[in-house]
Every structure is written in structure tokens, then in C-alpha cells.
Amino acid sequence: MEDKLKRVAGTLEYGPLLQGWELKMQVGAIFCFIFFAAFLLWLAFTEEEMEAAVVMFAIGALAMVGCAIGSLVNLIKHHRYRKAIGRWMQDAVPYTVFAEKVDEDGIEYRWEHPSPGVRIVVRFRYQGRRITRFSGAGRNGLNTREGYYPGWKKYCDREIDILYSPKYDQVIVLKNSER
């Protein structure tokens, strides 16, 4: 199963798939947040002279715990995402399709991705039926701001390899598309 997932770059609906060092960085971030929160709590309880310092350290510790929880939620969500891709790959049909750039997000101030994101579309035929899929959870065109990701730029306006799961109606983008 893990060998198959190593070939996956992401899916059009959910975006990129974190692999290898990216997952290790998430786990490392969780431990760093927890360690820093424990350190701030230790400082808060050892500080006797200034009540403002105690409050400041306690608030900082709570912020670090919040960041750790956010990273943990992201890791759990990503684990479920990997399991879903494994299910989708069971009945997947391989295709080589042309991916077109639909739109570029001019918003460069997003904290997640500092560079502007791109939204792509793929079109192909499955059992005589024409299928069009946009990147993002919104399947009906441009009425959503989801689906913009800077990593899609390398797939724009060229042929890419995908897997299509007819049972789940999902498109999986493969890494070997990075020609």
C-alpha cells in the first residue's frame, strides 16, 4: 500500500499528499510545540516576582498547546486522506490527460502558501462519458476559492498521468507526471 502511495502526488479534490520528510516535519513540530509549552509553564511557575510575567508565560504556553493541537489535527486528517486514496486506487483506471490552467489566485498573502496558487482542470472520457474535473472540492467550476495550490503550476498546460476511480469519482495525480 505504501509503495503505491509513493507514486501519488495528490488528488484534484484534496490537493497535495504529504510524504516522507513533510510528515516527519509535522510530527517534529508537534513535539517542539509541546516542549516549548512545557518550558513556558515551567518559567511561569518558577517566576515569583512579576505576576505579569506569569500570565505572559501561561498565555504563551496555551498558544503553543493550541499550535500542537492544530498540527495533530492536520496529521490525523492527512492520515485519513491517505487511507481514502488507498481505497480509491483499488478500482482506479490509468489515463494520460492534458491538464490546463484554469485560473491563478493573485492572493499572495496567504500564510499557507506565500506564492500564488493555480487551479487546474482535466478532461477525459470514461466508458463513452466525458468527465471534467477541477482541482478543489467544488466540482462545478469556478464558484469556489478552494483548489488553488502553487504546486499545480508544474502540471499546467501539459500531459500528466492520473488514476481515475469510477466508484468514488476521484482523480489521483501521479508523481511521474513531473516530466
Q: pLDDT for 93-131, tens place per residue?
A: 999 999 998 888 765 545 555 667 788 899 999 999 999
If one compares 160 and 6, the residue with the highest pLDDT of the two is: 160
pLDDT band of 1, cuts 50, 70, 90: low
Helices 21-46 and 51-88: angle between axes, nearest 10 degrees? 160
What are the structural domain ranges in the chain?
16-88, 92-177
pLDDT band of 144, cuts 50, 70, 90: very low
Mean pLDDT of 125-141: 79
In this prediction the pTM is: 0.73
pLDDT band of 140, cuts 50, 70, 90: very low
Mean pLDDT of 31-40: 83
Q: Residue 170 in contact with residue 132, Cβ under 8 Å?
A: no
Q: Residue 160 in contact with residue 173, Cβ under 8 Å?
A: yes
Q: pLDDT for 58-92, tens place per residue?
A: 788 888 888 888 888 888 888 898 899 999 999 99
Q: How far apart are the C-alpha atoms of 83 and 79, rounded to whole Å?
A: 6
pLDDT at 2: 65
Kindly tell me if the per-residue pLDDT of 168 is higher than 50.
yes
Query: What does the mean pLDDT of the chain come to?
Result: 80
If one compares 131 and 4, the residue with the highest pLDDT of the two is: 131
Report the run of H or E that residue 101 belongs to, with start and end. strand 93-104
pLDDT band of 29, cuts 50, 70, 90: confident
